[in-house]
Structure 1
Amino acid sequence: MNDAPVGFHCPDCVAEARRTTRQARTPLGGVRPGTYGLVSKTLIAINAAVWALILATGGNGSVWVDRLSIRPKGACVVGNRGYDVSSSLCSTQHGTWLPGVSDGAWWQPLTSTFTHVEPLHIGFNMLALWILGPQLELVLGRARFLALYLLSGLVGSAAVYWLSPEYTPTLGASGAIFGLMAALLVVARKARADVSQLMVWIGINAALTFFASGISWQGHVGGFVGGLVLAGILAYAPRERRTTWQVAGFAGVAVLVALAFALRTAGLG
């Protein structure tokens, strides 16, 4: 028997009660999180850990920047010049091989979304995640929020893979962050809430995307479009068998992303 505020409870009775009691659900069908912003805080911690690793191993010159950033095609660097050769030929020229997705660096579309070098870059991205993430976790639930974040980032990476110069590396969580902005917009519109302030914020970030230098508009636009589509699936799935529709929708987007990577790889090969 287990001690209880009033009397004692048998362990089997407690387990059965927990099994049969319905869990509290969010407005869009997820399990209501018990800890505020847990997934968002975990994502921030992962980003911070990767940033610390890069700083500790040379900052911009760290080998981890080239390993974790997304680069459509690998390149061999000899001195200050780049060569379009294979990794095996690169060693014969005493060069440094910078891996690319089309050459087998399959992890880069995901790892690039956790990679930062400049303090302002990670600072702005993590501040946005700190603001947007917990709000969406409450509405979506942890699993749906995490899937939205990761898949939005991968859609952004797919856009980078298709639209960026072949040998240019891209890094940062901005694609996933723009996906969260889009998702919050969709959820707020579904709830008929006032989105004027959110639209101003999105407008400012869109202006920076296209008019500031050194920013990957491909990743931002791709992540935003991905967030719109994914949030639309979550918000407008039929109430009957809602989870099934949501899972199927996310799976469909994941398949399209995988297909986009496969087709681009074939074109670069």
Structure 2
Amino acid sequence: MEQQPPQGQDASAAGDRALTCYRHPDRETGIRCVRCERPICTDCMIGASVGFQCPECVRQGSGTGHRPGAARPRTVAGGTVTSDPRLITKILLGVNLAVFVAVSIVGRPLLDELLLFGRAYNGDPSAGIEGVAEGQWYRLVTSMFLHQEVWHIAFNMLGLWWLGGPLEAALGRVRYLALYLLSGLAGSALTYVIADPAQGSLGASGAIFGLLGATAVLMRRMNYDMRPVIILLVVNLIFTFNPWGAIAWQAHVGGLVAGTVIAFAMVHAPRERRNLVQYGACGLVLLAVVGMVIARTAVLI
């Protein structure tokens, strides 16, 4: 629950005490709303044309009393501020869960149809399953929403909810969706390039690692304590490169690199060239993915 300070009292009490968010008194911050000057944390701050605003000031500015011609509040990356900052995250969760239920009901035929394969089993088209090398590029996308084990989808969806919500609020819906999909595609592409082409791969892990890399970039941009996200990243990399080899580390690395690159461009883009830098970075990552897939396909066919 959100806690509000007593009327007329700033929760960050002045003097020599550290500033704390007026909506979350347990969180220290060095950022103030540019309109009311109350201290706000990362979850509460909303990017404006200059600096950041608190949610109350944004609501007041977008209501009936909003001055004609005034700049509409924007997120840190220049996205539009929305009433539900987790909408895309909820939709992605729903799609992953729906695919999981569908595979659980239909069974192996649907799994084989959506799984990421480099090429047909052992290169034998008569096996009945063709891969990316045979032209089924859609597997690079469908495998991102595919899970077979309960523990697998549980871990990925928890990561999506914890990391995705704050990122969607900070980047805006369109930029956040581009980050998620391109990170997942980059993970699939690197798996296709490096892994055994006859080895199936599935899961949203590439996209989740992209969100993890983006979270690190955003926290660094806001001058927040990096230790929690570094610890989380190290733990995940340890699990990724475990000695049992059951995890497709290629997807994790590909997603992490893509997510970090895209997020850096989104939160550090100069205001006057923001769209060019942000969409240009997304375009370059997509071009790299396509180039990797084409090059690998030329080797396999």
TM-score bucket (shorter structure):
0.7 to 0.9
How much does 1:85 deviate?
2.8
SS of 1:241's equivalent in the other structure is helix
Q: Is 1:124 aligned with 2:155? A: yes
SS of 1:25's equivalent in the other structure is coil
Aligned position for 2:259: 227
SS of 2:128's equivalent in the other structure is strand
Deviations 1:109-166 (A, max 9, x none): 1110000010000000001101111100111000000000000000101110111001
Q: Give the letter for the 2:211 counterpart.
A: L
- Write 1 or 2 for the structure with the bigger share of helix: 1
Deviations 1:221-256 (A, max 9, x none): 111111111111112212212112211121121111
Aligned position for 2:197: 166
Q: Give the letter for the 1:237 counterpart.
A: A
How much does 1:21 deviate?
5.6
Q: Distance in 1 between matches of 2:142 and 2:234?
A: 27
Residues 189-268 of structure 1 aligned to structure 2 (within 5 Å): 189-211=220-242, 212-268=244-300
Residues 54-65 of structure 1 aligned to structure 2 (within 5 Å): 54-58=103-107, 62-65=108-111
Q: Let me know the Cα RMSD of the aligned residues.
A: 1.8
Q: TM-score, normalized by length of structure 1?
A: 0.84
Q: Distance in 1 between matches of 2:80 and 2:187?
A: 27
Aligned position for 2:124: 85
Q: Which has the higher contact order (CA 8 A, sep 6+)?
A: 1
Residues 84-103 of structure 1 aligned to structure 2 (within 5 Å): 84-86=123-125, 90=126, 96-103=127-134
Q: Give the letter for the 1:44 counterpart.
A: L
Q: TM-score, normalized by length of structure 2?
A: 0.75
Residue among 135, 151, 154 paired with 1:104: 135
In the alignment, structure 2 segments of 5+ residues that lack a partner are 1-65
In the alignment, structure 1 segments of 5+ residues that lack a partner are 1-16, 76-82, 91-95
SS of 1:200's equivalent in the other structure is helix
Deviations 1:72-120 (A, max 9, x none): 1112xxxxxxx4333xxx2xxxxx4112000011100111000001000
